[in-house]
Amino acid sequence: MNRQLTVHYDKCASFAQPVVLVRPVNGEPQTVHPSGQDEFGSVFELEVADNPVLLKFGDAADAENIESDSLWRQVKFARNRSLEVWCRNWHPFVLTSQPQLVEETGAGEIAGNTHFTWGQYISDTGGRFALGANPLRDGGVLFGFFHPHAARVYVTGTFNDWQHPGVEGADASKFIEMTLHRGYFDVPNVWLARVDHAQPGDEYKFYVVYDALAGGGKLENLLVTDPYARVFGPDYEQNNAVVIDSTQYYWDDTNYQTPAVHELIVYELHVHGFTHGHADVPPDHQGTYQGVIDRIQAGFFDKLGVTALYLMPLAEAPTPQGETSLGYNTSVFTAVERDYGSPDDLRHLVNEAHKAGLAVIVDQVFNHSANEFNPLWKLILDHPDEWERGDEGGLYFSGASPWGNRTATERVETQNMMIDACKLMLVEYDVDGFRFDYTHSSTMNHGFLNRLADEVRVVKPSTILIAENMPNESDLNRQGFDGFAQWHDRFHDGIKALLREGRFEALDDRPEVLGEMFYFSKGSFAAHTNNVINYCESHDEHSVPYELGTTDNPNLETPAAKERKARLGLGASMLALGQPMIYMGQEFCVERERNHVFYPRPDQPEQNPFFQWASGMIHLRRRYPGLKLHGYDPIADGQFEWIVGPWLDERHGGGKRAIGWRSTPTDDEFDRLVVLLNFENYPVEIDLELGDPGIWVRLATIDVVTDVPPYGNASADDDDALDVTEPRMNGFVLPDSSLFIYKWQALA
């Protein structure tokens, strides 16, 4: 039974002699010349006997290359004996209605000639195409949407009573159809619409018309949330995007400068969990940006001493807030979580943090995305066959990860979107940097991360970049000083093994691990001290007290043992070469399981003994250059010298889980420090190589932290000061689970 097939092929291909090869699924192709032209392109009238039939377009003048260079497109008849279809040269989809014609003016030219409100971010990664909803200086909004395969696209929202094709009782006079323009790769794939009566506060979506064959039917048209939405509306079922004017907030943090990497002391927090149920924050502020602001303004972080707030994911996630809702299931990378407050509330948080001397680092989850609500899933298919394959999510996805659908970070289109998300945070929220969730090369393309680093530092050269990359890989070091600071896997696992007095996951507490751990894994992956973040607690790991409760060792399960070991772990994080990080609640010795964001807070936190000790250690780290040595190799630079270690002789810690070093950051003798730690559960006697005779005052032990005036009352006259006339002090005893910091203070 013969069927009539009319095929339109667009004129963009510019073939001198366009032809179509018509091939039955199991037959030989026939060449058919066009029967005419229309505004779309060449028209072919075909009579076919087989169902389905394959089509391939090409130039008769270059017939040898048609078979190898062109795409086969499949046409399958349903019950109809005649069919009219349209094909575009840049994708394999067969359309059942005439698609939008391509405008002569490119999207980049339109964006370049449009007057957007000052201070907002206009998407420019891979091209300045103004994706999303962008308010204009003279009123109205320019909407932009990337989709290479749609037949037509409409923008719809509160500004046109949500009218679009397919809506019940549709009023076509209110439809707002978008125009198609050349965009990425100079291919028509960017849709634009200026809506003069749209304004900030309006809610909107895009209606994508596919009208494309797929399997035995057609692709469904979709009403979709903008992948470049800045925030979602209040309806958790509809998830409409909202037009945001990002330029109205008044910033007064103009004197703030992002700290150098070696000045970072990072405090990880979850916006909701950080204040949930805590009496010091008003009930309507708990679990929000405003709750964090309250703590900033109350001086909590100033008293604690940290220099950077690392905020766990802020991007919109579909799950409700709760004890184990961490936010690592991102829906839209550019949209900030509405549960925490408005975009201006987030701007206010950053502004107040900067005024308090705090950098703000935002967690970006680019390795996977949400399964529950995901506007990107099957939004753009690579091929019509994907519609019926449930495990393939289209252009933005590539297989699976341990946490959900793996995003295709190897694809330029995905990279463009994610880099735009970071640039938007830098421009519109003035954040100082990013931490990237699980970036190991098995899950994330490292070419993407290096491209991202290059591009965001054009926007803000001081951008801090931190990677959760475990096990650590050296290719993220870049030139060392400008590389990613990686969560230091060897340090965390090694510390947990030492504190547990046994095994932790793949590591045991062998003394040999100590040198590598504390000297920023120079021998394994890091090139520069900037390349590591040291920590013993995070959202992903049990707190030290909880960890000790899992050892089946009764000596470690007492409250006193848990607190002592927690101090040793936090102290080690502050003292090791690299940058330290603590997790919210760690300053109170909270006992908590991994992946829990609620924690108890003392009624008088600043009177809490553990807080006072932790704050003292953190302030010592901030104050003394000798506790934040940095560079490619401080040993070679003459700033660092080992004086205790398992690899040294018996009188200097040989074979013991003890470590120590002398720090000489400058030629000034008052900057000289000695640091000692003992992880054994028994005292270790050493000969202490102070290096310089004189009086060394004690700044810290596992029990007490002080300082010299004006910050403390440590004095050369103290009974615990070391008064030595020789560079070596024999018979110095390191108690079990202990640490010491000594500072040269005066001549003997």
Q: CATH number for the domain including 15?
A: 2.60.40.1110
Other Cβ atoms within 10 Å of 647 Cβ, number: 14
The answer to whether 582 and 266 are in contact (CB under 8 A) is yes
CA-based torsion, 581, 586, 591, 595: positive or negative: negative
pLDDT of amino acid 383: 87
Q: Helix, strand or coil for residue 595? A: coil
As a whole number, mean pLDDT of residues 285-291 equals 98
Long-range own/partner contacts, residues 507-510 (CB < 8 A, 24 or more apart):
509/657, 509/679
The answer to whether 347 and 362 are in contact (CB under 8 A) is no
- Tell me how far CA of residue 525 lies from CA of 235, 480, 492, 517, 581, in angstroms: 47, 11, 15, 11, 19
pLDDT of amino acid 387: 78
| 361-406: pLDDT as tens digits | 999 999 999 888 999 999 999 888 887 777 788 999 998 888 888 9
- Report the C-alpha gap between 202 and 233 in whole angstroms: 9
Tokens, residue 647: 């690899």
Q: How confident is the model at residue 78 (pLDDT cuts 50, 70, 90)?
A: confident
Interhelix angle 489-500/559-575, rounded to 10 degrees, is 150
As a whole number, mean pLDDT of residues 707-719 equals 95
pLDDT at 13 exceeding the cut of 70: no
CA-based torsion, 629, 635, 641, 644: positive or negative: positive
Would residue 594 count as lying in a domain? no
Amino acid at 482: D
Q: Helix, strand or coil for residue 41? A: strand
Query: Cβ contacts of residue 461 below 8 Å, gap of 6+?
Result: none
Would residue 186 count as lying in a domain? yes
pLDDT at 25 exceeding the cut of 60: yes
pLDDT at 2 exceeding the cut of 90: no
As a whole number, mean pLDDT of residues 515-524 equals 96
pLDDT of amino acid 69: 57
Would residue 580 count as lying in a domain? no
Q: Where are the alpha helices (DSSP H) in 91-214?
A: 107-112
Continuous segment of H or E residues that includes residue 467: strand 464-467
pLDDT of amino acid 61: 80
Same domain, yes or no, for 300 and 434?
A: yes
Q: Taking Cα atoms as reference points, which of 136, 140, 181 lies closest to residue 157?
A: 140
Count of the separate structural domains present in the chain: 4
- CA 603, 609, 614: angle at the middle one, nearest 5? 110
Query: Cβ contacts of residue 197 below 8 Å, gap of 6+?
Result: 140, 159
Same domain, yes or no, for 434 and 295?
A: yes
Same domain, yes or no, for 284 and 150?
A: no
CA-based torsion, 627, 633, 636, 641: positive or negative: positive
Same domain, yes or no, for 85 and 114?
A: no
The answer to whether 332 and 347 are in contact (CB under 8 A) is no
Same domain, yes or no, for 336 and 397?
A: yes
Would residue 565 count as lying in a domain? no
Write down which residue in 468, 495, 510 finishes a domain.
Answer: 468
Tokens, residue 430: 């003035």
CA 529 to chain centre: 21
Write down which residue in 55, 89, 123 finishes a domain.
Answer: 89
Q: Taking Cα atoms as reference points, which of 270, 375, 344, 374 lies closest to residue 313?
A: 270
The answer to whether 736 and 698 are in contact (CB under 8 A) is no
The answer to whether 548 and 555 are in contact (CB under 8 A) is no
Same domain, yes or no, for 138 and 208?
A: yes
Continuous segment of H or E residues that includes residue 446: helix 446-459
- Report the C-alpha gap between 645 and 656 in whole angstroms: 7
CA 313 to chain centre: 7
Same domain, yes or no, for 77 and 118?
A: no
Q: Taking Cα atoms as reference points, which of 516, 565, 575, 560 lies closest to residue 542?
A: 565
pLDDT of amino acid 612: 98
As a whole number, mean pLDDT of residues 293-319 equals 97
| 370-382: pLDDT as tens digits | 888 999 999 999 8
Continuous segment of H or E residues that includes residue 673: strand 673-678
The answer to whether 438 and 538 are in contact (CB under 8 A) is no
Same domain, yes or no, for 650 and 698?
A: yes
As a whole number, mean pLDDT of residues 276-283 equals 97
pLDDT at 690 exceeding the cut of 70: yes
Query: Cβ contacts of residue 565 below 8 Å, gap of 6+?
Result: 499, 544, 545, 548, 556, 737
- Report the C-alpha gap between 463 and 261 in whole angstroms: 10
For residues 504 and 363, the model is more confident at 363
The answer to whether 332 and 283 are in contact (CB under 8 A) is no
33-47, 63-77, 79-93, 694-708: least confidently modelled range:
63-77
Continuous segment of H or E residues that includes residue 132: strand 132-135
As a whole number, mean pLDDT of residues 172-198 equals 98
Enclosing domain of residue 319: 259-468
CA 379 to chain centre: 22
Query: Cβ contacts of residue 580 below 8 Å, gap of 6+?
Result: 264, 265, 266, 533, 534, 535, 573, 574, 621
- Report the C-alpha gap between 108 and 188 in whole angstroms: 11
- Report the C-alpha gap between 639 and 628 in whole angstroms: 11
CA-based torsion, 734, 738, 744, 747: positive or negative: negative
Question: Which phi and psi (to 5°) does residue 245 adopt?
Answer: -95, 105
Q: How confident is the model at residue 58 (pLDDT cuts 50, 70, 90)?
A: confident
The overall average pLDDT reported for the chain is 95
As a whole number, mean pLDDT of residues 106-118 equals 97
Q: Is the peptide bond before 318 cis (omega within 30 degrees of 0)?
A: no
Same domain, yes or no, for 129 and 195?
A: yes
Same domain, yes or no, for 737 and 685?
A: yes
| Residue 120, domain CATH | 2.60.40.10
- Report the C-alpha gap between 233 and 236 in whole angstroms: 8
| 523-538: pLDDT as tens digits | 999 999 999 999 999 9
Tokens, residue 715: 């004095």
| 396-448: pLDDT as tens digits | 999 888 888 899 999 999 999 999 999 999 999 999 999 999 999 999 999 99
Question: Which phi and psi (to 5°) does residue 603 adopt?
Answer: -65, -35
- Report the C-alpha gap between 615 and 305 in whole angstroms: 6
The answer to whether 181 and 103 are in contact (CB under 8 A) is yes
The answer to whether 204 and 157 are in contact (CB under 8 A) is yes
Would residue 526 count as lying in a domain? no
Would residue 223 count as lying in a domain? yes
Full-model pTM: 0.96
pLDDT of amino acid 678: 98
Q: How confident is the model at residue 67 (pLDDT cuts 50, 70, 90)?
A: low
- Report the C-alpha gap between 69 and 697 in whole angstroms: 77
Other Cβ atoms within 10 Å of 115 Cβ, number: 9
Would residue 74 count as lying in a domain? yes
pLDDT at 746 exceeding the cut of 90: yes
pLDDT of amino acid 399: 86
pLDDT of amino acid 70: 65
Same domain, yes or no, for 283 and 157?
A: no
Same domain, yes or no, for 330 and 185?
A: no
As a whole number, mean pLDDT of residues 603-614 equals 96
Would residue 131 count as lying in a domain? yes
pLDDT at 68 exceeding the cut of 80: no
| Residue 302, domain CATH | 3.20.20.80
| 567-599: pLDDT as tens digits | 999 999 999 999 999 999 999 999 999 999 999
